[in-house]
């Protein structure tokens, strides 16, 4: 078991010296949480049996928090700490003057980083700590790193400004406030890394990218133990593994278990169909459709049959099958565990070693190339802990008082009483293009309900980056809820995502928010639509948003895999 002495050592670990010794540090201030985690990974792997098996970025340029604070002072921008308008803040950061000495340091750093595309990542003082993650709250920017040296330097400088400005985005501001911190308590360091991946013609991306966790705190079935670990994988850049987009989840000791189900239609609905890459001809971040790029991917990737299948006529076929009019190529990753067992073996060993070294469960991000079996570790952070309550007894209630019931991904918890339930009507959501207006209306109601620990109910995936999958809210627009319910409605293609492994779920864990997925029409599930349609409610600022007032409660028992929302 990881010991307290390991965690204590991590807390005192001198990350600044790791970067300074290599000539990768600009400034004399702290390097922030993300940089500390990566530096500790260097330390933990050095001299270990895993040192040769795991790559780390060949260089990581770190801009310390001192430079961020100098920028604010030099440009007399202290007003940003009390400014609510993020557009005005972004404009000020984009126009602010950088010290010439800093620009010269960046230009020299570019020589160390080489000519690969660059990832420009946040590493704030509060980010990736043992208590708080701030995962997904701050900006990550990409630079194609092409063209003249002047253009490359300008793109890097602009990316750093964007990451700095994201300190004042509404989501991290709400997160800080909820956890007792002021904006003045935060400062931003920045990591600049060569993007791990390979060129494929003029496209650049890793074959596989993902996030992995040494513990599984939210499990879709008792067959998965907390200690088993989890890996969430996508094809291409790893942006889709940390957002609520579609990606494949593998439980490391049961990799063939699919929380979405094993039927071809269920697999197709949950699978990735687009991927992200850097286009070096256009010099930009791009998204491509698998259907459009399938011939290209078949030529570029020898292992394509491990991760691509064709869905048609409610069946799955091999990747090279002829495409019919209504067939759908998907990144199913069905054969990955059997054809590439080394990845799963290595990941189990790596997570165990890093957890033992840090003294606390860990959360990592990585890339993997199947042909060369190269695994590159690009981030490591402490995994926020999650404490389940003792066994919960589910009360028997009449049918008319049972509003919602689910029997998958249930963990123990109780919300004994709340007087408010916020609901997005699935019959109205998605019938027009006002997805983001719905999200803003939810945010308005969230502000009005602060302090109530209300119940939030809506179709599909809350916080999805794709509004077709669910309401695209930000953290600050749902941060006051006490229980979040996702209603799956198959005929409308709304489905909850029963996967731990996104920034979204890390927030739920840290904030102690209960989570309940409900699959309308499935055995053991209840979506009492009659009650929602016929009970009085207060209108939100969008017609799809309703607020119900009464006495509600939530009971969730992980042992029986039953969770329900009831009317008291």
Instruction: Name the stretches of the chain with pLDDT < 70.
Output: 1-8, 129-131, 133, 135, 220, 222, 244, 384-390, 497-509
* Residue 286 maps to a domain: yes
Residue 500: its pLDDT value, please?
55
Residue 499: its pLDDT value, please?
57
Number of domains in the chain: 3
Residue 133: its pLDDT value, please?
66
- Cβ-Cβ contacts under 8 Å for 428 (sequence gap 6 or more): 543, 544
Q: In this structure, what token pair is assigned to residue 359?
A: 């003294």
260 and 208 in a common domain: yes
- The Cα-based distances of 229 to 9, 224, 421, 476 in angstroms read 24, 9, 34, 29
For residue 437, what is the enclosing H or E element?
helix 435-448
Distance of CA 368 to the CA centre of its chain: 18
* Residue 349 maps to a domain: no
245 and 132 in a common domain: no
Please tell me the pTM assigned to this model: 0.85
CB 303 within 8 A of CB 340: yes
24 and 171 in a common domain: yes
Tell which of 339, 373, 408 closes a domain: 339
CB 467 within 8 A of CB 435: yes
Looking at residue 124, which CATH number applies to its domain? 3.30.1490.20
435 and 563 in a common domain: yes
Closest CA to 383 of 131, 98, 46: 131
533 and 412 in a common domain: yes
- Residue 322 CA to residue 226 CA, distance in Å, equals 42
DSSP states of 48-65: STTTTTEE--S--EEE-H
* Residue 374 maps to a domain: no
Domain boundaries, position 477: 399-567
29 and 124 in a common domain: yes
Closest CA to 272 of 299, 245, 297, 242: 245
* Residue 359 maps to a domain: no
* Residue 75 maps to a domain: yes
Length of the chain: 568
* Residue 357 maps to a domain: no
167 and 22 in a common domain: yes
182 and 116 in a common domain: yes
Tell which of 166, 195, 224 closes a domain: 195
Closest CA to 511 of 177, 37, 170: 177
220 and 152 in a common domain: no
Q: Coil, helix or strand for 548?
A: strand
Tell which of 321, 339, 357 closes a domain: 339
- The Cα-based distances of 440 to 447, 471, 494, 495 in angstroms read 11, 10, 20, 22
231 and 145 in a common domain: no
CB atoms within 10 A of CB 92: 19
Q: Coil, helix or strand for 74?
A: helix
- Residue 394 has, within 13 A of its CA and on its CB side, a CA count of 20
* Residue 61 maps to a domain: yes
- Residue 411 has, within 13 A of its CA and on its CB side, a CA count of 23
Distance of CA 489 to the CA centre of its chain: 23
156 and 227 in a common domain: no
Closest CA to 159 of 81, 59, 63, 20: 63
CB 228 within 8 A of CB 212: no
Residue 1: its pLDDT value, please?
38
Q: Coil, helix or strand for 199?
A: strand
CB 77 within 8 A of CB 52: no
Within 359-430, where are the H helices?
A: none
pLDDT per residue over 128-165, tens digit each?
766 676 767 889 999 999 999 999 999 999 999 999 99
Residue 505: its pLDDT value, please?
64
* Residue 385 maps to a domain: no
Within 24-99, where are the H helices?
A: 32-45, 65-74, 86-95
User: DSSP class of residue 323?
Assistant: P
210 and 136 in a common domain: no
Q: Residue for token digits 């990350």?
A: 15
CB 508 within 8 A of CB 206: no
CB atoms within 10 A of CB 145: 22
């Amino acid at each position: 078991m990881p010991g307290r002495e390991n965690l204590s050592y991590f807390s005192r670990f001198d990350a600044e010296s790791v970067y300074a010794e290599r000539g990768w540090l600009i400034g004399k201030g702290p390097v922030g949480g993300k940089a500390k985690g990566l530096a500790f990974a260097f330390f933990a792997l050095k001299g270990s049996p895993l040192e040769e098996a795991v790559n780390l970025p060949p260089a990581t340029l770190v801009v310390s928090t001192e430079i961020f604070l100098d920028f604010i002072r030099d440009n007399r921008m202290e007003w940003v700490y009390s400014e609510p308008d993020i557009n005005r803040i972004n404009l000020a950061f984009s126009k602010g003057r950088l010290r010439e000495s800093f620009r010269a340091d960046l230009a020299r750093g570019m020589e160390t980083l080489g000519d690969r595309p660059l990832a420009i990542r946040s590493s704030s003082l509060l980010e990736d700590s043992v208590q708080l993650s701030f995962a997904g709250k701050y900006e990550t920017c990409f630079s194609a790193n092409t063209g003249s040296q002047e253009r490359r330097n300008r793109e890097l400088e602009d990316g750093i400004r964007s990451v700095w400005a994201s300190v004042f985005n509404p989501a991290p501001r709400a997160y800080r406030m909820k956890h007792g911190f002021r904006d003045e308590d935060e400062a931003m360091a920045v990591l600049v890394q060569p993007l791990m991946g390979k060129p494929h013609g003029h496209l650049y991306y890793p074959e596989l990218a993902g996030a992995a966790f040494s513990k599984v705190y939210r499990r879709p079935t008792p067959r998965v133990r907390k200690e088993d670990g989890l890996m969430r994988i996508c094809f291409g850049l790893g942006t889709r593994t940390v957002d609520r987009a579609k990606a494949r989840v593998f439980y490391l000791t049961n990799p063939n278990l699919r929380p979405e189900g094993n039927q071809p239609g269920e697999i197709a609905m949950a699978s990735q169909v687009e991927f992200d890459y850097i286009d070096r001809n256009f010099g930009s971040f791009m998204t491509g459709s698998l259907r459009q790029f399938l011939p290209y991917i078949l030529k570029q990737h020898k292992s394509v049959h491990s991760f691509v299948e064709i869905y048609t006529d409610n069946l799955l076929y091999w990747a090279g099958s002829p495409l019919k009019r209504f067939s759908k190529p998907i990144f199913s990753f069905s054969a990955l565990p059997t054809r590439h067992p080394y990845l799963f073996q290595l990941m189990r060993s790596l997570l165990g070693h890093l957890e033992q070294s840090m003294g606390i469960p860990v959360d990592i991000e990585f890339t993997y190339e199947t042909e060369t079996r190269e695994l590159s570790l690009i981030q490591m952070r402490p995994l926020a802990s999650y404490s389940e309550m003792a066994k919960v007894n589910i009360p028997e209630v009449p049918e008319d008082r049972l509003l919602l019931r689910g029997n998958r991904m249930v963990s123990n918890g109780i919300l004994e009483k709340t007087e408010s339930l916020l609901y997005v009507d699935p019959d109205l959501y998605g019938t027009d293009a006002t997805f983001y207006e719905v999200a803003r209306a939810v945010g308005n109601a969230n502000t009005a309900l602060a302090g109530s620990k209300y119940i939030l109910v809506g179709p599909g995936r809350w916080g999805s980056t794709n509004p077709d999958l669910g309401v695209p809210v930000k953290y600050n627009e749902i941060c006051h809820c006490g229980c979040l319910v996702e209603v799956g409605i198959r005929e409308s293609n709304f489905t909850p995502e029963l996967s731990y492994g996104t920034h979204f779920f890390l927030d739920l864990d840290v904030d102690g928010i209960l989570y309940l997925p409900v699959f309308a029409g499935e055995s053991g599930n209840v979506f009492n639509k009659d009650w929602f349609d016929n009970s009085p409610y207060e209108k939100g600022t969008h017609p799809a948003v309703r607020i119900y007032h009464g006495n509600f409660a939530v009971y969730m028992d992980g042992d029986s895999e039953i969770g329900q929302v009831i009317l008291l």
